[in-house]
Amino acid sequence: MSAMSAILDTELSYASTVTRALVHRAAVCEVFLTDSVRLADDAYLIAAQLPRVHSYYSDQLATPAVYDPLLLVEVFRQASIYTAHTFLDAAVDEKFIFNSGEMIVTDAAALQIGVRPGHALIHARQAGLRHRDGVVTGSTLDLVLTVDGREAATMRTTCQWMPGAAWNRMREKGRASLAPGAARPHPTGRRVAPGAVGRISPHNVVLSETAVREREVLTQVVVDQANPALFDHPLDHIPGALIFEAFRQSAVHAAHELFGLSPQGLLLTRVETDFTRFGEFELPTDCLVRVVESPDPDSVAFEIDMSQEERIARARVHLALTRPIGGALLQRLVPAGAGA
């Protein structure tokens, strides 16, 4: 039987979520996966339910109302971890590192929220495995997500995992260079206006001080460990979900400040991210946003470096303009080859 025939013949359940430990979540309400089946040695089908209302992912000014693309990133993240535990024999207590990820919204119309929670299917295929002493310790997955039968997004994720003891040794070594008493805690109080980054609630804003230059914007990242969506459980580093959000908000803010584009008319459609170092709580975190050429005339693109004492992550972010007037304005403001 072909993989496609297997998909068509497979009925996965949306009756309850998978065990939260298998996706590294403490709160049941933050678990989105519901079921799975192995299609082949290197292919899996995973079901997820997308919530129509969520305190974090529904807190968007963008119109029309759609499932947040970063909700899809979280679903892809959960699928990557769940696959390792369920199909690759990774122990439940092992620690995970995500090295890179590239998410593309292939059909924004497929993200429109309907009259019931979205039924998502993720077709996952192994693109590569990492081994150590004959044991699988990492994987690269190609994932395709459909919502109610319509393809919506794809993502490639690369991650690795290790026992807790090895993690602790690695983190102790990495943190040894932090000078005692020299820490400057992240700001959590003063933040930019929610509307400037496409948010409604100030509690979901992750930027504070910003500076606008000729063709770039510098933003300072808020690390609020009291945010229950970004910090579902205690961590010893800045989580990837916060890094993705900081990249998006920095790009939205730059689009508004540099081109006068309304955050309400911008939709994240592509993000390519490499994680190079752990983000530490003790060090301030900044994003430098530069305009780059977009291959789509109805979108704007940025390259973003996130740094503490050194760069900890980089990204290229594409924002699609969901309003015709925005596209016309962009054509007048952005010269061909800008920043390339």
Task: Indicate if 137 and 200 belong to the same structural domain.
Answer: no
Task: Indicate if 33 and 158 belong to the same structural domain.
Answer: yes
User: Of 103, 134, 168, which marks where a domain is finished?
Assistant: 168
Mean pLDDT value across the chain: 90
Angle at 262 between CA 261 and CA 267, to 5 degrees: 95
Task: Kindly report, residue by residue over 277-289, the tens digit of the pLDDT.
Answer: 999 998 999 999 9
Task: Indicate if 283 and 239 belong to the same structural domain.
Answer: yes
| Domain contains 178 | no
pLDDT at 185 > cutoff 70: no
Identify the CATH number of the domain in which residue 130 sits.
3.10.129.10
The pLDDT confidence band at residue 331, using thresholds 50, 70 and 90, is: low
| Domain contains 153 | yes
pLDDT at 175 > cutoff 90: no
Task: Kindly report, residue by residue over 128-161, the tens digit of the pLDDT.
Answer: 999 999 999 999 999 999 999 999 999 999 999 9
pLDDT at 6 > cutoff 90: no
| Distance, CA of 243 to CA of 98 (rounded, Å) | 12
| Domain contains 237 | yes
Domain that holds residue 277: 183-333
Which ranges of the chain would DSSP assign to H, the alpha helix? 3-9, 69-87, 164-175, 240-259, 324-333
Task: Indicate if 87 and 199 belong to the same structural domain.
Answer: no
| Domain contains 15 | yes
Overall domain count for the chain:
2
Task: Indicate if 239 and 327 belong to the same structural domain.
Answer: yes
What is the mean predicted confidence (pLDDT) over 249-277? 96
46, burial (CB in 10 Å: exposed 0-12, middle 13-18, buried 19+): buried
User: Percent of the chain beyond pLDDT 70?
Assistant: 89
What local confidence, expressed as pLDDT, does residue 189 receive?
67
User: Of 141, 168, 195, which marks where a domain is finished?
Assistant: 168
The pLDDT confidence band at residue 209, using thresholds 50, 70 and 90, is: confident
What local confidence, expressed as pLDDT, does residue 260 receive?
93
Please, are residues 336 and 315 in contact by the beta-carbon 8 Å criterion? Answer: no
pLDDT at 182 > cutoff 70: no
Task: Indicate if 308 and 262 belong to the same structural domain.
Answer: yes
The pLDDT confidence band at residue 65, using thresholds 50, 70 and 90, is: confident
Task: Indicate if 87 and 191 belong to the same structural domain.
Answer: no
pLDDT at 3 > cutoff 60: no
Task: Indicate if 149 and 203 belong to the same structural domain.
Answer: no
Task: Indicate if 161 and 217 belong to the same structural domain.
Answer: no
**Phi and psi at residue 280, in whole multiples of 5°?**
-95, 145
Task: Indicate if 80 and 109 belong to the same structural domain.
Answer: yes
| Domain contains 216 | yes
| Domain contains 208 | yes
Residue of 317, 319, 50, 280 lying closest to 171 (CA atoms): 280
| Domain contains 340 | no
User: Of 168, 196, 212, which marks where a domain is finished?
Assistant: 168
**Phi and psi at residue 4, in whole multiples of 5°?**
-65, -40
The pLDDT confidence band at residue 340, using thresholds 50, 70 and 90, is: very low
Task: Indicate if 81 and 104 belong to the same structural domain.
Answer: yes
Whether pTM > 0.75 for this model: the answer is yes
The pLDDT confidence band at residue 320, using thresholds 50, 70 and 90, is: very high
| Domain contains 175 | no
What local confidence, expressed as pLDDT, does residue 325 receive?
56
As beta bridge partners, residue 160 has 97, 138
What local confidence, expressed as pLDDT, does residue 4 receive?
44
Task: Indicate if 87 and 159 belong to the same structural domain.
Answer: yes
User: Percent of the chain beyond pLDDT 90?
Assistant: 81
